């Protein structure tokens, strides 16, 4: 049995699974959804037994799932064994709520008993996807990695590259989940929030263009027509209003810089998307320094100091070479920004001593050397991601993960899912964006970032003169 850990955003069956998690209970900001791909047939009983052994081995985890006529219900009292409730979405696809893990948690001196994690699986053909949803009290990636390693040991096998299957049955399952979410209260709340705070919502098929400058409200999901969009503010919304909206949602300051990323990709898309379209994510890591006091800083007084880059794409012929090239780029950028190698490795999460993909979840792993107690010492947030949106072919979607690892540094990640990138363009896009932000912050030319993934020539990052006009105002926030 092969177990794969995958970071958001999702495509195909993985998006269907993530939507199914939200269908049973919406995933609020502050929670983490971990995805595991079981690349061989496994029965409900075998999977439930493996999870049961996981819970039994770790005393902090307790099952808390009760079946009712209306479906599964969480209980705060008696522990029960693993129960399965199946929901058929389409022929050959079935979603099962495998169980809820709970534990006694001490918060602010009070002892409470509440659900801590939920396991949801979807099966289709010979592939089963398993999602583990952790709430904010135990939402740490080491926990997900522990679960992954346990399942791998229990079910056997090695860790392959993530599958890219997206057949008709999976698409039907995804459509059913998206339709259910669109009708749900959480979907309505999404639309109401953006309408209330940003003055209007434009759907994925109604995108008239980008706002002209940060002061006119650069929405993080505003792309040009035909490239897809989730939600965006109407042109004319002041930047302050956008920041206030993000603060209301509990987002971190880098949500505003996210708009810079969306504009940059939309501007560069015509130069990078030539050739046969392929699917592949791009992962960008950013480091923020807190250079002013909390009172002066407010909620958004951060300054971007460096932008290391990690890239993995389905268009990479050699995943190991891609990871090595990403490591080279990280070290080159960190040397320019005077970051310690340990900080770079913490941001990258590349397993320098093991097989590729083994530590994908550890992109944002908690580092004990900062002296912070887990899990309260850091947080993982997803921002501006709407799983209910049906994205057409050729669109771009991004998910931002943030980890606050110390009192003076904030580590962030963006993962971008680009459906129409030419082979080799993912690395070029990431390197170009890294150089642009780095130069905009430092106001000095960027050093070359050498990367040579699978048959690609080393990339030289563009100088400050190559930056699109009107984009530097969003750097300091």
Q: Tell me the C-alpha distance between 419 and 421, whole Å.
A: 6
* Domain co-membership, 193 together with 164: no
User: Does residue 453 surpass a pLDDT of 50?
Assistant: no
As a whole number of angstroms, the distance between CA 262 and CA 271 comes to 15
Tell whether 322 and 387 lie within a shared domain. Answer: yes
Question: Regarding beta strands 303-306 and 380-383, do their DSSP bridges make them parallel or antiparallel, or are they unpaired?
Answer: unpaired
67 and 103 part of one domain: yes
Same domain for 138 and 162:
yes
Mean pLDDT of 253-273: 32
Structural tokens at position 425: 């363009």
Do 201 and 119 belong to one domain?
Answer: no
What pLDDT, on a 0 to 100 scale, did the predictor assign at position 303?
A: 26
Of 139, 161, 183, the one marking the end of a domain is: 183
Domain boundary among 183, 211, 233: 183
Spatial CB neighbours of 395, under 8 Å, sequence gap ≥ 6:
204, 223, 227, 228, 229, 419, 420
Do 223 and 147 lie in a common domain? Answer: no
Residues 161, 270 share a domain: no
Say if residue 224 is exposed, middle or buried (CB neighbours under 10 Å; 0-12, 13-18, 19+). middle
Confidence (pLDDT) at 428: 40
Question: Which is higher by pLDDT, 188 or 398?
Answer: 188
User: Which pLDDT band, with edges at 50, 70 and 90, does 159 fall under?
Assistant: very low
Element (H, E) at 6: strand 3-6
Q: Do 104 and 232 belong to one domain?
A: no
Does 123 lie in the same domain as 32? yes
234-244 pLDDT tens trace: 333 333 443 34
| Neighbour count for residue 126 (Cβ, 10 Å) | 11
Q: Tell me, what's the pLDDT at 34? A: 53
Across all residues in the chain, what is the average pLDDT? Answer: 36
pLDDT of residue 46: 72
Structural domain span for residue 195: 187-474
Find out whether 79 and 60 touch, Cβ atoms under 8 Å: no
Condensed to tens digits (0 to 9), the pLDDT of residues 20-61 reads 444 333 333 334 445 555 655 666 667 667 766 665 655 444
Total domains present in the chain = 2
323 vs 122 pLDDT, higher one: 122
Last residue of a domain, one of 158, 183, 208: 183
Output DSSP code: residue 476. Answer: B
Q: Are residues 240 and 157 both part of a single domain?
A: no
Instruction: For residues 213 and 79, state if they share a domain.
Output: no
Q: Encode pLDDT of 403-414 as tens digits.
A: 333 333 333 333
**Percent of the chain scoring above 70 in pLDDT:** 0
Q: How far from the centroid of its chain's Cα atoms is residue 267's Cα?
A: 23
Residue percentage of the chain with pLDDT more than 90: 0
- Backbone φ and ψ for 457, nearest 5 degrees, come out as -75, 155
Residue 459 has pLDDT above 50, yes or no: no
Please state whether beta strands 278-289 and 409-421 pair in parallel, antiparallel, or not at all (unpaired): antiparallel
pLDDT band at 156 (very low <50, low <70, confident <90, very high): low
User: Which pLDDT band, with edges at 50, 70 and 90, does 120 fall under?
Assistant: low
d(CA 134, CA 377): 16
How much helix, strand and coil, in percent to the nearest 5, is found in the chain?
35, 25, 40
- Residue whose token pair is 């030319």: 445
């Amino acid at each position: 049995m092969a177990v794969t850990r995958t970071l958001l955003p999702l495509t195909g069956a993985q998006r269907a699974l993530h939507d199914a998690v939200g269908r049973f209970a919406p995933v609020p900001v502050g929670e983490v959804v971990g995805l595991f791909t079981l690349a061989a047939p496994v029965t409900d009983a075998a999977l439930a037994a493996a999870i049961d052994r996981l819970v039994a081995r770790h005393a902090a985890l307790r099952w808390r799932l009760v079946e009712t006529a209306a479906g599964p219900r969480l209980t705060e009292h008696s522990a029960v064994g693993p129960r399965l409730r199946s929901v058929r979405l389409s022929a050959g696809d079935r979603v099962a709520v495998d169980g809820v893990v709970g534990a006694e948690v001490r918060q602010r001196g009070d002892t409470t008993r509440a659900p801590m994690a939920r396991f949801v699986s979807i099966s289709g053909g010979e592939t089963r996807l398993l999602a583990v949803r952790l709430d904010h009290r135990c939402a740490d990636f080491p926990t997900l990695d522990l679960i992954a390693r346990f399942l791998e040991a229990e079910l056997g096998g090695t860790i392959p590259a993530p599958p890219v299957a997206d057949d008709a049955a999976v698409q039907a399952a995804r459509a059913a989940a998206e339709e259910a979410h669109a009708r749900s209260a959480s979907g309505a709340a999404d639309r109401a929030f953006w309408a209330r705070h940003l003055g209007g919502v434009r759907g994925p098929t109604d995108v008239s263009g980008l706002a002209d400058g940060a002061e006119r409200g650069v929405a993080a999901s505003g792309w040009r027509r035909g490239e897809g969009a989730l939600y965006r503010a109407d042109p004319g919304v002041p930047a302050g209003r956008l920041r206030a909206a993000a603060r209301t949602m509990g987002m971190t300051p880098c949500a505003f810089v996210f708009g810079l990323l969306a504009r940059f990709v939309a501007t560069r898309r015509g130069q990078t998307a030539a050739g046969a379209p392929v699917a592949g994510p791009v992962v960008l890591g950013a480091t923020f320094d807190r250079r002013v006091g909390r009172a002066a800083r407010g909620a958004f007084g951060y300054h971007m100091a460096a932008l290391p880059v990690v890239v993995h794409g389905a268009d990479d012929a050699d995943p190991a070479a891609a990871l090595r090239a990403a490591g080279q780029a990280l070290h080159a950028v960190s040397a320019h920004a005077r970051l310690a190698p340990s900080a770079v490795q913490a941001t990258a999460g590349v397993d320098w001593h093991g097989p590729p993909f083994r530590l994908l979840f550890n992109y944002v792993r908690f580092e004990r050397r900062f002296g912070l107690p887990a899990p309260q010492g850091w947080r993982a947030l997803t921002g501006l991601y709407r799983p209910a949106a049906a994205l057409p072919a050729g669109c771009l979607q991004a998910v931002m993960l943030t980890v606050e690892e110390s009192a003076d540094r904030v580590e962030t990640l963006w993962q971008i899912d680009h459906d129409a990138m030419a082979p080799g363009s993912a690395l070029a896009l990431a390197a170009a964006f890294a150089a642009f932000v780095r130069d905009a912050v430092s106001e000095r030319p960027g050093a070359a970032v050498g990367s040579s993934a699978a048959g690609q020539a080393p990339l030289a990052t563009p100088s400050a003169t190559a930056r699109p006009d009107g984009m530097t105002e969003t750097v300091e926030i």
